[in-house]
Amino acid sequence: MRYPLTVISRATPYERAEIAMRSHLCSHCPYRSRDKEWSGIDSPRACESRCPFFQELPRLVQAARYLDPMVGRLHRVMDARLREVCRRLPRSAEGRRAFLLMHRQQIIDDLAKITAH
């Protein structure tokens, strides 16, 4: 997926991750808020503040950015981290867990592109 160049060129790695996740993940999420005033992928949705994935995203981006390829492979490390995020979700969030696990390869691919791995 291509993003507007002006948005990407001024964005930090974390902001680029947010944009990518809003574009790829949120567009398919059955739990996303239906904000009438949402202005696009470069602005947060109302549901992000309570989304377990978006709460964990800063730590995922940081881990992806600083992962030494000699120590571990990004895809394997991020897969383990995403599975851990899903394991920590309460039983009441079973649907969110299934959604994240179903889309984890897209999440990992986006993190790899954003952090240039």
Query: What residues does each domain of the chain span?
Result: 5-32+46-114
Q: What's this model's pTM, rounded to 2 decimal places?
A: 0.80
Burial 26-46 (b: 16+ CB within 10 A, else e): beebeebeeeeeeeebbebbe
Chain mean pLDDT for the chain: 84
The whole-number pLDDT of residue 116 equals 75
Q: What is the pLDDT of residues 49-88, one digit of tens each?
A: 889 899 999 999 998 888 877 777 889 999 999 999 999 9
